[in-house]
Amino acid sequence: MAYSDKVVDHYNNPRNVGSFGKDTPGVGTGLVGAPECGDVMKLQIKVNVETGVIEDAKFKTFGCGSAIASSSLATEWLKGKTVDEAAKIKNTDIVNELKLPPVKIHCSVLAEDAIKAALADYKEKNATNPVAVASK
């Protein structure tokens, strides 16, 4: 299969690979997919609890090049967004940006799931802090 230039670029130069400590204040972690399906994504956000803005994001992905690119792109998009804005990222945005073929759409779905899971984890951990999860 021929990969789009953007997928190749993210594969060769993945943005924001790495991990935050799971219990660091402001960090939300999403772990989605399954090894037997051939895709697992771990996506983490680091939110400024004073402003509700995502200041940093990191990922690690087990999966094909399109899965790596989808999660790499997701971390780029997350940075600078508020928690509410981040929730609006759709898998179709990722498909369009990376020009994913139909057989790779599940990679973008998984990336969206990873974003949602990270946001949910963050909100759960900061449920008692109304500023941290409020819309700006």
Partner 1 sequence: MALKFPIFMDAQSTTPGDPRVVEAMVPYFTEKFGHPASRNHPFGWEAEAAVDAARGKLARLIGARDPKELVFTSGGTEAINLALKGVAEMYREKGNHIVTTVIEQRAGLDVCKRLERQGFSVSYVPVQPDGLIDVEEIRKAITDKTILISVMFANNEIGTIQDVAAIGKLAKEKGIIFHTDATQAVGKIPVDVEAMGIDLLSCTAHLLYGPKGVGALYVRRKGPRVRLAPMMDGGGHERGMRSGTLPVPLIAGFGKAAEIASAEMAAEGARLAKLRDRLQDMILSSVDEAFLNGRPDRRLPQNLNISFAYVEGESVLMGLNKETALSSGSACTSATLEPSYVIAALGASAELAHSSIRFSLHRFTTPEEVEYVGQRTIEVIKRLRDMSPLYELAKEGVDLKTIKWKAD
- Say whether 107 is catalytic: yes
Candidate list 8, 34, 37, 134, residue with the active-site label:
37
Whichever of 10 and 81 has its CB closer to partner 1, that residue is: 10
Candidate list 45, 74, 107, 115, residue with the active-site label:
107
- Say whether 37 is catalytic: yes
Whichever of 17 and 87 has its CB closer to partner 1, that residue is: 17
Q: Which residues bind partner 1 (CB under 8 A)?
A: 1, 3, 8, 11, 14, 17, 19, 31-42, 59-65, 67-68, 102-103, 106, 109-110, 113, 117
- Sort strands 53-62 and 27-34 into parallel, antiparallel or unpaired: unpaired
- In DSSP terms, 29 is beta-bridged to 44
Greatest Cα pair distance, the chain, in angstroms, is 48
- In DSSP terms, 42 is beta-bridged to 31, 60
Q: How far is the CB of 21 from partner 1 (least distance, A)?
A: 12
Whichever of 19 and 96 has its CB closer to partner 1, that residue is: 19
Whichever of 64 and 133 has its CB closer to partner 1, that residue is: 64
Q: How far is the CB of 1 from partner 1 (least distance, A)?
A: 5
DSSP 95-119: HHHHT--GGGHHHHHHHHHHHHHHH
Q: How far is the CB of 4 from partner 1 (least distance, A)?
A: 12
Tally of CA atoms within 13 A in the half-sphere of 52 that contains its CB: 16
Surface-to-core class of residue 62, CB atoms within 10 Å of its CB (0-12 exposed, 13-18 middle, 19+ buried):
middle
Active site residues: 37, 107
